[in-house]
Amino acid sequence: MERHQSEQENQYMKTITPTLEERGVSRKELLQQAQQIDNDEFYTRYEDVEKELSMYSKFIWKDKVVFCNGNDAVDDDNDKRRTSAFALYFLNNFNVLGLKKLICTHYVGNVGLFNQGPTGYVFIKDGFNEIREYPPKFTGSFDDPLSLKILHEDTDIVCSNPPFSRAADYWRLIIESGKKFLIISNITNPITPAFIPYFREDKVWAGYNRVDEYLNQKREIVRAAGSWYTNIPIKDRPKYNHLKIVPLKEIPEKYKTMDDKKTLLVDHCHIPSDYKKPFAVSARPILNGLLEKGYKIVNDNQYFPYVNGKKCFGRVLVKKV
């Protein structure tokens, strides 16, 4: 165990992301690189963490224990280039937010972005004290027994970007814990069977922002369609303005159609205000706050419409309450 006394609370600086010009590459080249990557261990950029978390009242964090679980780390030398964006944000704003404690767990995987080696550990900031513990056989994974113990016994709010490939397991554990959370996950979750029940039962909703750019293990920018999700109340969601809730007759014909089962399909965030039957929408209206506007998901199934015998992209059935 190592104990570190902070000399200054603001010693941690923001991560600086080089511009494409500075990297000497084009956006097209980055997209081509991203398509070749088969590892979903992407790391969140500091600016995306700051953009989302700054939208919430500081009172949410006051006297709370924040747990960044699964793939977050704090470097021994407090090197901003080797410290997770989540850890950085809370270290930068520890006093401003009035946090009681910050707990981060380092996940044991391939040597990657943070180059921390093969040993899982727990980093704790409690006031001015910083503690690093190396429990025997600790993997740092979100479902490691010690991680679950911290989650259930010590945590008030979870904040992390779990691997998209393990999102179903992560969501189940976090939601069953009953803790508050702010996490990043795939943008299609609202219409994916493993997650639809959480939205239908009002256990989770979209945060304020989507996240489209991440860093891979080589600190290269990669693209993946993600969104923030939370169970913390959202106030004055800007995306409400993206919803076009109008009478059915006012929806342009190109944005509404009936499928082969006579189910109404609407697109481009057009929502019928006077339609009593279930109708099908994509994930986008859900992310924009549709379920907070007097509509509900009908069942836990993904809906695949057929139009003239041709299968269309997946949706979810909703109806006005």
What's the pLDDT at 111?
A: 40
Three-state SS string across 99-143, please?
Answer: CCEEEEEECCCCCCCCCCCCCCEEEEEECCEEEEECCCCCCCCCC
Report pLDDT for 79: 57
**pLDDT on residue 6:** 36
For the chain, percent of residues with pLDDT exceeding 90: 65
Around Cβ 77, how many Cβ atoms within 10 Å?
8
pTM beyond cutoff 0.85: no
HSE-CB at 72 with a 13 A cutoff on CA atoms is 31
Measured CA to CA, the distance from residue 289 to residue 243 in angstroms comes to 8
Q: How far is CA 274 from CA 105, 268, 278, 294, in A?
A: 49, 18, 11, 12
DSSP letters, 54-107, are TTS-GGGTTT-EEEE-SS----TT--GGGS-HHHHHHHHTHHHHT-SEEEEEE-
DSSP assignment, residue 169?
H
Handedness of CA 131, 137, 141, 147 (dihedral sign): negative
- Where do the structural domains in the chain lie, given as residue ranges? 2-230, 238-320
Integer Cα distance of 9 and 296 in angstroms: 45
- Report how far Cα 68 is from the mean position of its chain's Cα atoms: 12
Which residues, in sequence order, are CB contacts of 291 under 8 Å at separation 6+? 199, 202, 205, 297, 318
pLDDT for the residue numbered 75: 63
**Could you say which residues of the chain have pLDDT below 70?**
1-41, 71-73, 75-82, 109-118
Residue 12, token pair as written in the block = 């941690």
Q: Taking the CB of residue 265, how many other CB atoms lie within 10 A of it?
A: 18
Contacts of 286 (CB under 8 A, 6+ apart): 190, 191, 199, 206, 297, 316
The pLDDT of residue 140: 87
Token digits of residue 84: 């997770």
- Contact (CB, 8 A) for 187 and 226: yes
Tokens of 13: 């600086």
Write down the pLDDT at residue 304.
96
List, in sequence order, every residue forming a beta bridge with 213; answer none if it has no partner.
Answer: 223
